[in-house]
Amino acid sequence: MMAAAPAKLEKETEDWSLLPLVHDIIKCMDKDSQDVHQELAKLKTKIQEAREQINSMPGVESSPQEQQLQLAALQEQVRTKNQLLQKYKSLCMFDVPKAS
């Protein structure tokens, strides 16, 4: 179970910048190298991995309006819970002096 957490963290912190790959492709084209196809394949793979990562994100299937509604509902829950917490703190039920 512990091995899955570092792998997930590594995947989340992976660099998704495409510029280095594009730069490598341009360098290969300038040199008239045959490695262009290999570099293009790397770029295509990286783009596909990015698409898969985006599609696996939670909430991506919700519309912006649905996300706003969910956010408003959660904010209201937080406000209600904070109010209840303040109410319970003000009751001072835990500060009852001991009977001697």
The pTM of the full predicted model, rounded to 2 decimals, is: 0.50
Residue 9 lies in a domain: no
Segment 18-30, tens digit of pLDDT: 888 888 888 887 7
**CA angle at residue 42 from 41 to 43, to 5 degrees?**
90
Which range of residues forms the domain containing residue 42? 16-56+63-90
Residue 20 lies in a domain: yes
**What is the 3-class SS of 10-49, one letter each residue?**
HHHCCCCCCHHHHHHHHHHHHCCCCCHHHHHHHHHHHHHH
Residue 8 lies in a domain: no
Residue 11 lies in a domain: no
Segment 40-71, tens digit of pLDDT: 898 899 999 989 988 888 888 889 999 999 99
- Considering its fold, how many domains does the chain have in total? 1
Residue 10 lies in a domain: no
Residue 96 lies in a domain: no
